[in-house]
């Protein structure tokens, strides 16, 4: 309850977006490989941003 109004840091937001993209890419890989590859590229870009924040 105490963390209810706590704002997320930039790193937490990026980690969340990264995980969502990886999940989407995994689901898409079963039906459309090119779309999955594009999602993986977006995820890698976010991963590089996370590394820069550290």
Model pLDDT for residues 3-54, shown as the tens digit of each residue: 677 888 999 999 999 999 999 999 999 999 999 999 999 999 999 999 998 8
For residue 34, the surrounding DSSP H or E stretch is helix 33-53
Q: Are 18 and 47 in contact (CB under 8 A)?
A: yes
Q: What is the rounded distance in angstroms from the CA atom of residue 23 to the CA atom of residue 30? A: 12
Q: Model's pTM, two decimal places?
A: 0.84
Closest to 42 measured CA to CA, from 23, 21, 28, 26: 21
What per-residue confidence (pLDDT) applies to 28? 95
What pLDDT score does 31 carry? 95
CA 35/CA 18 separation, integer angstroms:
16
Residues 53 and 25: their CA atoms lie apart, in Å, by 24
């Amino acid at each position: 309850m105490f963390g209810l109004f706590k704002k997320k840091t930039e790193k937490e937001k990026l980690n969340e977006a990264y995980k969502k993209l990886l999940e989407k890419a995994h689901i898409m890989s079963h039906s459309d490989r090119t779309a999955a590859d594009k999602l993986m590229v977006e995820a890698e870009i976010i991963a590089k941003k996370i590394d820069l924040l550290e």
